Amino acid sequence: QVQLVESGGGSVQAGGSLRLSCAAFGYTYNIYNIYCMGWFRQAPGKEREGVATIYTGGDSTYYADSVKGRFTISHDNAKNTLYLQMNSLKPEDTAMYYCAARIGGGLCYPGVDFTYWGQGTQVTVSS
């Protein structure tokens, strides 16, 4: 099993920045087999939205149109940690943000099935 622990959420004013982190814990074998990680978010009354994904072995990334140019996803293999730098935050970015990881192989984008999920970290942006 792999446990994903998010941190870095909080409350900011519009235009501000936050950096989310997601640390992976568990059996080394399982962590080694993670090839794709991503950030998702869900606002009250709305469906879960894929924000960004990244191949952990390279630089290939995906971003939702709503965050392109404002958010940056990155991964530190040595620390088994995923990041999401969020700049120019807007009130519509308010949501619970979840980290997810996928093992095995194949495509890496929000539409694939992710194996492990974190508990989430709240981001609130006020106008």
What pLDDT score does 81 carry?
94
What pLDDT score does 68 carry?
98
What pLDDT score does 31 carry?
77
What pLDDT score does 43 carry?
96
Given a contact cutoff of 8 angstroms between Cβ atoms, the answer to whether 17 and 87 are in contact is yes
What pLDDT score does 57 carry?
83
The CB-side HSE value for 101 (13 A sphere, CA atoms) comes to 28
CA 82 to each of CA 40, 73, 85, 89, 118: distance values in angstroms, whole numbers, following the listed order: 13, 8, 10, 19, 12
CA 118 to each of CA 49, 58, 125: distance values in angstroms, whole numbers, following the listed order: 15, 22, 21
* Segments of the chain with pLDDT less than 50: none
User: For residue range 83-120, what is the model confidence (pLDDT) as tens digits?
Assistant: 999 999 999 999 999 999 999 888 999 999 999 999 99
In sequence order, what are the beta bridge partners of 99?
39
What pLDDT score does 27 carry?
75
